[in-house]
Chains A and B, each alone.
Chain A
Amino acid sequence: MIEFYPQIHAVHVWAIALSGMLMAIRGLGLIGGMHWPRGVVAWSLGLAIDGTVLTAAAMLFAILPSGLFANHWLWVKLIFVTAYFATGYWLLLVDQIRLRQALLLATSMGAYALAYGVARAHNPAGWLAVWGI
């Protein structure tokens, strides 16, 4: 499977980018009082993209050496990714007041940004490491 590493990695990166974009657009749409973010098309697209993210992540997890856990960056990233999905899907699934919707979206996008920083730096410090702070 290691033969397919570049392709799987690329799929993972592009899928997570699409996932974040779609989550942000759907979240803003919901806050704006629109109905389409909970429509069949948006759900199907979202589930397909998130399914791809998870599949590619699990494949990378299985084929890469266990050194991936060397400095625990992956654990930290997994915590942020879990927070991103949990708050994002909570926003999309459960009816709530607009302020709480905005807070959930902000938390979800914040967790997404932090996960991205950790993944980019391959370091639990994330953006702090990227910026050399």
Chain B
Amino acid sequence: MSTTKRLWLGLAAIVIASFGVMLWLGSDLMRTAPPVPERVVTQSGQVVFTRDDIETGQKVYQSMGGQQLGSIWGHGALVAPDWSADWLHREAEARLDAAALAQGAQDFASLEPHEQAALQARIEPSFRENGYDPQTGDLTISDDRAAAITLVSRHYDSLFSDDPATHELRVSYAMKEDTLPDSESRAKLNAFFFWSAWATAAQRPGAEVSYTNNWPSEPLVGNSPTPGTFMWSMFSILFLIAGIALLGWHYAAWTGKDAPLTPPANDPLKGIALTPSMKASAKYFWVVIALMLVQIALGATTAHYQVEGQDLYGFDLSQYLPYALTRSWHTQLAILWIATAWLGTGLYIAPAISGHEPKFQRAGVNFLFVCLLIIVVGAFTGQWFAVMQKMGLTSNFWFGHQGWEYVDIGRFWQAFLFVGLIVWLLLVGRALWPAIQRKDDMSSIVFLLFLSTIAIGLFYGAGLMYGSNSHLSEIEYWRWWVVHLWVEGFFEVFAVAVISFLFVKLGLVRGRTATINVLFATVVFLSGGILGMFHHLYFVGTTMAGVAIGACFSALEVVPLALIGLEAMETWQHSRATPWMQRYKWPIMFFLAVSFWNLVGAGLFGFLINTPIALYYMQGLNLTALHGHTALFGVYGMLGIGLMLFCLRGLRDDVQWNHGWLRGSFWCFNIGLALMALLTLLPMGVLQLQAVLEHGYAYARSAEFMGQPMIHLLVWMRMPGDLIFAAGALLLAAFVALQWINPRKEASEPATLADAVPAE
């Protein structure tokens, strides 16, 4: 059996086995997730909340921006608190104060340490006992707890209104005045917050851990890491070491066997004949630049809210563009511009690979482009109406804000985008088809490229698997199918396949070698990438089985990154293989940056928060934002730019490039991102981590902690990096604009990509 065939079989086995386990763990999660009670009743029979209150409260939470304003179970935005942790802490404090008052003390804080410890020990069991009766569906709580709930509800009712008493807190949390103008909505929101907090401390039936595996760290109710959290963290590290050892062995055994390849004398891609649909893909790249610039401006605005709360240099911006909205658009645009760069690349490269322009391909490319514009404008308008509370809850789900980070556009727009992605994969597929059928050295790599486009398109559909009334754990499960499987799975495969394919077409790598390398890399990526999804679900209602699988397999995601220096060196050598490679210097430099940030942003900063014990303390701190920014922009943003430049090289083949603009842009992006990470996100995250370890999670996310001058100073320290980063984007925008506005011509040699055969 040939090596290629063996690798294909291995890949198929891994994909089938991994998805089998994924579905099994998913069904387990849905069976064992924290129940939503029919009623929350006190021992004296008073009904505090109903199931409808909790479910409607979840919809209210979604309508105000959901995870874009504070977080639940650690997932979401970082300026406002984690509402489940905050509620738990406030409720515990209210109960301790009440108990202290009953003892004749002024409040809990005024007690001696031994008296405090005794009170804590007294109230802790009432938080940890479950109280849920599956027969009746009732969750029974003590009258004392109901009294504490009333106090906390009053606080939140004030916070989400325009009550002057909580104005300062709203400023600290970057919330607009009157976030929820309707008092009934605020009451329902309280029901949802209570339920999410109850699940963090209430122990699973027959177990001594809570539904969220004791997350968050909260000393007042005895929430601390479980033994399983420690144990699977150890195994996670063992898996990592074993994975690196295996990969090292593979490199030693397999690489360097081929004789060096002599590159062709001239650029095989120079003078490539552009088909009408390839030309039509240019507009995608203009949109990439526009979306990127808007995204950076929104990022700066979102970061600024962290110091001025509601204002932008004294102007009350929150009344028009509140934090929840700027952050929603910032995160959505990150995905959208990167995705548009990839969509454009797919549409440009598919006819180039096969040398075949299907009928009406250009019309399809233009149709998809118009659809994408409608989706962006429509979805963002809907989110504005939602966050400004100008939409009912039903309309909100369909056209407004779903509230789930990265997949938060309204369901109609989400479905529309899914259809758009299907149209994209059809357009790419029909153009690629002749190349897939050719059965040559390249057919496997082309087929893998095609499979990754199918996966990117179809797996967005996982975001349609939950409804407006779905359980939070179920939503998180399917949401991460989209987000995680895209970035850790199919994006990686697409990236490796497309870059390898380009090097083969440039005559720098043999087709067979590239095919084996890409297939092997795909096997390695997907071994950890699929089941590694569970590391996002450690604390959202999953059992210890999910924690174990997530911890071990997500460690494997880091394995290929440990040896990424070898890949980077190979890429660098390709860039210097022949003088005409200077034409591709900057796309390749951006590919090199992908390797660098893959190691730093995805590898180091990713593994920093990856093990269960690390994430137990770090989830929702700035250390997660550190990983998010450096991995998302550093890897996929840089890749999107590299691919865009590669396509522009072909689209504006006869235009002389101004290397100065690109050099400036490249270094500004990298230095800006590094400064953002090192001057702000890393130190702030470390300070927060220290606060969690010393005082519990709620404190590290509180206004008291986040409002400290030192934290504000660190936020301001983003500015130099952000300015440099923005300069990089402007230089890139100017470079792209000049390709069409003021092009300088250079000599060309006609050729076609389909005929470009590497010199063996």
Contacts and interface: CB of A to CB of B under 8 A. Distances in A.
A62 B716 CA distance: 10
Given A47-B724, A61-B313, A62-B313, A1 B712 contact: yes
Nearest to A52: B720
Nearest to A59: B716
Contact of B723 (A4, A54, A61): A54
Contact of A51 (B304, B712, B713, B720): B720
Contact of A55 (B304, B307, B712, B716): B716
B-side interface mostly: helix
A51 B313 contact: no
A103 interface: no
A93 to B, nearest CB: 9
A122 B709 CA distance: 27
A58 B396 CA distance: 37
Nearest to A40: B667
B307 A62 contact: yes
A59 B723 CA distance: 14
B314 A3 contact: no
A-side interface mostly: helix
B719 interface: yes
Given A62-B308, A62-B313, A66-B314, A4 B709 contact: yes
B723 A1 contact: no
Nearest to B668: A47
A115 B308 CA distance: 27
A4 B308 contact: no
B709 A55 contact: no
Interface in B386-402: none
Interface in B451-474: none
Interface string B336-362: 000000000000000000000000000
Interface in A1-46: 1, 3-4
A51 B307 CA distance: 19
Contacts of B719: 51, 54-55, 58-59
A61 B307 CA distance: 12
Contacts of A48: 720
Taking each of A48, A52, A59, which has the highest tally of chain B beta carbons within 10 Å of its own beta carbon?
Answer: A59
A3 B709 contact: yes
A82 to B, nearest CB: 15
Interface of B: 304, 307-308, 313-314, 709, 712-713, 716-717, 719-720, 723-724
9 contacts: A1-B709, A1-B713, A47-B724, A51-B724, A54-B720, A55-B716, A55-B717, A59-B719, A61-B313
Given A55-B716, A55-B719, 12 more contacts: A1-B713, A1-B716, A4-B709, A4-B713, A47-B724, A48-B720, A51-B719, A52-B720, A55-B717, A55-B720, A62-B308, A62-B314
Q: Which 6 A-B pairs have the closest CB atoms?
A: A51-B720, A55-B719, A3-B709, A1-B712, A66-B314, A59-B716
